[in-house]
Structure 1
Amino acid sequence: MSRFAANLSLTFTELDFLDRFDAAAKHAFSAVEFQYPYDVDAQEIKRRADSAGLPIELFNAPPGDTFGIAALAPPEEFQQSITQAIEYAKVLKPKKLHIMAGIAEVTSDTTARYVENIRWAAQQLEEIDVLVVIEPINQYSVPGYFLHNLDHAYWLVETINHPNVKILFDIFHIQQIHGNLTRRLREVNDAGLLGHVQVASVPDRHEPGTGEVNEVHVFQQLDELGYDGVIAGEYLPEGETTAGLGWLEL
């Protein structure tokens, strides 16, 4: 049976960030994730998550100004950003860290920089038992994003050649990049690369069940594949968050 995580950067935004943990705990969520926690004290975030009884599944590395810096930043700058993420991870104990690539043309230079940076991060995060996940992002939402399809993700993971790197399969993005969600999901899973799953409706990024995708079928596929992680609702509520939580019963 599917387990769900609330993305507290996009949902329950009617409340202050720290109050969203208790709000999520009142509904059928097994965990939480969020995007960028760096403006809030890590100890206070952990205290509120523990009080709500919700483990932290994932958060993002610092994004810079370009939806990530992994394909753009020289090693010293990139490593500083990951060091900050590690400081938070040591307190928050997430299972995964999403490292974004940035808006950058795919060239030999950006590719080499990305591979070097992600490999270094994977090594550092493995020491604290945090998985690195990388995510293909569609070109409608973020034009020019460096990592924009699954085939590129496969090649990068193979080239990075570190066991602590897997793929974040975001249904919202993969549907718009490739379609063929069932085949693509099986493909990622069979390759042993399914690191995390996120969901939002397509094309408007609202609650699951309100767009063109049959999320029930996708959730069933995840169950059949033996996926034992959470499915995170990374979507923009059409109205007040609690009014749209019927998708948890899909």
Structure 2
Amino acid sequence: MPMPKFAANLSLLFTELPFPERFAAAANTGLFEAVEFQFPYDHDLKTLTQTAQQAGLPVALINAPPGDTFGQAALNSTDFESSITEALRYATALGAEKLHVMAGITEPSPDATALYRRNITTAARMAAERGVLIVVEPINHHTVPGYFLHDLDQALGLIQNIPNVKILFDIFHIQQIHGDLTRRLTALHQQDLLGHLQVAAVPSRHEPGTGEVDDARLFELIDALPWPGFVGAEYHPADTTVEGLGWLQPWVTYH
């Protein structure tokens, strides 16, 4: 049986509970091997770190602060570098090895492209000093209209020759942007540019296996590559989180 490892995205899962209680809830299912979440900055770092440690699941990934525009890397933001400093403070304390830096909503232009490369280069250098990998994610325009980084080939071109940056391959987004999932996923892995994986059904963003993509086949591919990292379960449960976890049962790796 193929055995990819899954991380519960606590920003979308277990939302029936206050955020600090979601760590233990994910651990108590016995199905997840890690957690990830989007924006932890409204929570006290010391308390959050203790909560994560008590739950016993590693933190796979967090997002950098998004500002008011779904990210700042492609925008002329004066506080971009300070936002990365804050993100790395959280990532280091939580033991998160990966930081997703969001691009923001803005029209593509030569100026935005040049600014994005400068900012990602800066973030990658700062993160490398902390042992953290920067990942960037193409996001489809159905979900976030106007998002700057909206194409996988665009993303690959923008991070070319920048050390310590890889691609966050979100099956939900890449299917809607390009399709051709198996070829694109395999190519990224072969080029050593696959930084993180996330999954949700397309187009509903509910539980994997309930949409137009054969997620089980992709999980088999992820195992065969092999992909040693986690697959983030970043979806909106159709009902309660626990009631919808049947999709995950066949992929449990450690019981």
Deviation (angstroms), 1:90: 2.3
CA RMSD of aligned residues (A): 0.9
Aligned counterpart, 1:202? 202
Q: In the alignment, which of 116, 119, 141 is matched to residue 117 of structure 1? A: 119
1:222-233 matched pairs, under 5 angstroms: 222-233=222-233
**8 Å CA contact 1:199, 1:231 repeated in 2:** yes
Identity across matched positions, percent: 58
Q: Does 1:72 align with 2:70?
A: no
TM-score when scaled to structure 2? 0.95
Aligned counterpart, 1:29? 32
Runs of 4+ in 1 over 4 A off after TM superposition: none
Partner-residue secondary structure (3-state), 2:79:
helix
Q: Does 1:129 align with 2:131?
A: yes
Aligned counterpart, 2:7? 5
Between the aligned partners of 1:249 and 1:211, the Cα distance in structure 2 is 18
TM-score when scaled to structure 1? 0.97
Structure 2 unaligned spans of 5+: 251-255
Aligned counterpart, 1:186? 186
Between the aligned partners of 2:67 and 2:247, the Cα distance in structure 1 is 33
Deviation (angstroms), 1:42: 1.1
Q: Does 1:56 align with 2:53?
A: no
Deviation (angstroms), 1:245: 0.5
**8 Å CA contact 1:61, 1:81 repeated in 2:** yes
Per-residue Cα deviation, 1:59-82 (whole angstroms, up to 9, x for no partner): 0000011110100034x4210111
Q: In the alignment, which of 9, 19, 22 is matched to residue 20 of structure 1? A: 22
Structure 1 unaligned spans of 5+: none
Between the aligned partners of 1:94 and 1:122, the Cα distance in structure 2 is 15
Aligned residues: 247
Aligned counterpart, 1:103? 105
Deviation (angstroms), 1:130: 0.6
Deviation (angstroms), 1:240: 0.6
Deviation (angstroms), 1:16: 0.5
**8 Å CA contact 1:43, 1:92 repeated in 2:** no
